[in-house]
């Protein structure tokens, strides 16, 4: 498990803040941080007092991606590279509550993939985003880019490794908001507080729809929304027959 110096979980009224706390190393993700991130997500998911989580990084950057100093090595080390990454991103994919990202500085490679796993992405004006794997003889990140910005822009970013300034990232849809430098976390916390007072059932259902239909066709998205609506209506009817409260949609 990651040490408190690498990764911190702070509870606020109705939401949590997950901070990559390895600023001197640009918050590059170690094996322990990736596994610890998954463990902390599970803790937030299980805590009914928490409606959502904010993901951020200690200054000066959001996350520079995987810690490349840990790459290579013997067979056991190479397996851990793959396994710890798989564990972290699987935990992000199944996390049932909204994730709000607060970005100062750079989000690169695996750090950008982490950012794109968040539902609402807020960055400071001087932030930079890139998937630079191709520049280092590696590959990856295209799938999450395509889901976020569409095929054409994703191809450009993945094949060139080009960095985007925050305003351009906002224009192509990688970000939801751009704020003044030093204000990303405060703005993300304000959004998290807004989510925390919503009826929890509706928030979870809407999050489910957002995640499940990302990148899907309009037809498939509408079909999924209809299935959720059917589940809500029929579930409410069943609750009514049992005399139980139907929940707060």
Active site residues: 133
Instruction: Tell me if 195 sits within 8 A of 15, measured CB to CB.
Output: yes
Q: What crossing angle do the helices spanning 142-149 and 151-160 adopt, rounded to 10°?
A: 140
DSSP secondary structure letter of residue 29: B
d(CA 42, CA 36): 10
Q: Which residues contact 44 (CB under 8 A, 6 or more apart)?
A: 9, 16, 18, 50, 53, 95, 97
Q: Which residues contact 16 (CB under 8 A, 6 or more apart)?
A: 9, 10, 44, 47, 50, 52, 53, 54
- Tokens representing 224 are 């999924």
Instruction: Tell me if 134 sits within 8 A of 146, measured CB to CB.
Output: no
């Amino acid at each position: 498990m990651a040490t408190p110096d690498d990764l911190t979980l702070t509870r606020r009224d109705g939401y949590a803040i997950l901070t990559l706390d390895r600023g001197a190393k640009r918050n590059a993700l170690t094996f322990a941080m990736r596994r610890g991130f998954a463990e902390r997500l599970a803790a937030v998911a299980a805590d009914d007092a928490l409606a959502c989580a904010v993901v951020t990084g200690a200054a000066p950057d959001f996350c520079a991606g995987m810690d490349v100093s840990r790459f290579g090595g013997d067979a056991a080390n190479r397996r851990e590279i793959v396994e710890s990454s798989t564990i972290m991103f699987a935990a992000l994919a199944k996390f049932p509550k909204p994730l709000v990202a607060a970005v100062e500085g750079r989000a690169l490679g695996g750090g950008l993939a982490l950012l794109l796993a968040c539902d609402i992405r807020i960055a400071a004006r001087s932030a930079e985003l890139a998937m630079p794997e191709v520049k280092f003889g590696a590959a990856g990140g295209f799938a999450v880019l395509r889901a976020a910005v569409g095929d054409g822009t994703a191809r450009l970013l993945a094949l060139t490794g080009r960095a985007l300034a925050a305003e351009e990232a906002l224009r192509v849809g990688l970000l939801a908001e751009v704020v003044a430098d030093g204000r990303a976390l405060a703005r993300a916390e304000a959004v998290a507080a807004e989510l925390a007072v919503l009826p929890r059932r509706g928030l979870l259902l809407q999050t489910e729809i957002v995640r499940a239909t990302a990148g899907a066709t309009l037809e498939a998205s509408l079909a999924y929304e209809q299935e959720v609506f059917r589940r809500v209506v029929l579930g409410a009817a069943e609750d009514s027959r049992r005399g139980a409260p139907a929940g707060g949609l």
